[in-house]
Amino acid sequence: MLVSSRKMLREARANKQAIFAFNVYNLESAQAVVRAAEKIGKPIIVQASQKSLQYAGMENLAYIVHSLAQSASIPVVFHLDHGKDLSFVERAIRSRLFTSIMYDGSSLPLEENIKNTARVVKMAHRARVEVEAELGVVGTASGNKAVKIEYTDPAQAKEFVGKTKCDSLAVSFGNIHGAKTANEKLNFEVLKEIAQAIDIPLVFHGASHSTQAEIEKARTLGVAKINIDTQLKQAFFAAIKKNSDADDPRLLLGAARDAMEKEAYRLLTY
C-alpha cells in the first residue's frame, strides 16, 4: 500500500528505529527493494532522484512504483530524493504521484535555503505531502579528491526547522554520498547535538557500506530514515558483469534484480 511518511518516521524516531530508503531507477530495481521488504515484513521508502526521474520520465517511474506498492503487503512511501530545482519539485508536488518529497537547498546560503524550503513546505502540506530538507554539506565521493564536508550546525538546525516547518531533516555529521572513502568518519557527537536541538526525524544520507553498529548508533540518536543508493547499485552492476554473456535481457536484468534484492534484504535485517 502507498502511504505517507509522516507517522512512519515520527514513530521510528520515537522508538529509536529507522526506515530504510532505497533509490530506484527502473522496473527491476523497484521490484528488488519492494520484494525484499515484503519478504522481511518491514515498511520501506522507495525513492528516485530528480536526475533519475528526468531520465526515466516522472510518470513512467512513478507508475511502476505505484503498481508495486498497491499490490504489496507492506507500507510503501514514494519519495522524491534530492530535488534541487524548485520548478521540478513543485511539479512533483502538483503531480500527486509522491507521498513525500525532498527539497535540497543545502548548497545555497542559509537564508535562501530557509526561504525556498518554507515555500516548498507550504505548497506540499496543502497537497498532504511530507517534506524532507537538508542543512549542512553532505559531501560526494569523487575518485581520490578530498570530499567537502560541512557539519550541520545544531543552532542553525533549530532556526531552520522553526522557520520552514519541514517534516524531516537530512543532516551532515561526516557522512558522504557514494562509495566509502578512507577519510569518512561519522561524528556521533555532532549528531547527538543536532538531535537534542530539534525533535523531528533526522535523515542519514550516504549510508551505503556503513556498519550495522553505525546504523544502530544513528537510530538511537534521532535518525529515522537511512538512505542507501551506491551499495545496491554495486550489487546490481556486479550481477550484470557476471552475466554479461546472457543472450536475453530478461536473464541479464533478472539476475541484477535478484542480486539487488538480496543486498536490500540483508540491510533490512539490521
Domains in the chain with CATH codes: 6-268 (3.20.20.70)
First to last CA, the chain: 23
pLDDT grade, residue 149 (50/70/90)? confident
- Burial class of residue 111, CB neighbours in 10 A (0-12, 13-18, 19+): exposed
Query: Phi and psi at residue 218, in whole multiples of 5°?
Result: -60, -40
Q: Is the separation of the CB atoms in 138 and 175 below 8 Å?
A: yes
Percent of the chain with pLDDT over 90: 90
Active site residue 85: no
The rounded distance, in Å, linking the Cα atoms of 6 and 26 is 26
Q: Has this prediction a pTM greater than 0.85?
A: yes
- Burial class of residue 74, CB neighbours in 10 A (0-12, 13-18, 19+): middle
Q: What number of helices (H) and strands (E) belong to the chain?
A: 11, 10
pLDDT beyond 60 at 139: yes
**Strands, DSSP E only, in 75-142?**
76-83, 100-103, 130-135, 139-140
What tens digit of pLDDT does each residue of 164-206 get? 999 999 999 999 887 776 667 899 999 999 999 999 999 999 9
The rounded distance, in Å, linking the Cα atoms of 101 and 47 is 9
* Three-class SS state of 175: coil
Predicted pLDDT of residue 142: 60
**Strands, DSSP E only, in 89-222?**
100-103, 130-135, 139-140, 168-171, 176-177, 202-204
Predicted pLDDT of residue 206: 92
Angle at 169 between CA 168 and CA 173, to 5 degrees: 145
Q: Is the separation of the CB atoms in 22 and 34 below 8 Å?
A: no
pLDDT grade, residue 141 (50/70/90)? low
The rounded distance, in Å, linking the Cα atoms of 95 and 29 is 22
Mean pLDDT of 23-28: 98
Q: Which of 81, 104, 153, 167 is catalytic?
A: 81
What tens digit of pLDDT does each residue of 33-61 get? 999 999 999 999 999 999 999 999 999 99
The rounded distance, in Å, linking the Cα atoms of 237 and 94 is 34
pLDDT beyond 60 at 87: yes
The rounded distance, in Å, linking the Cα atoms of 204 and 63 is 27
The rounded distance, in Å, linking the Cα atoms of 191 and 211 is 17
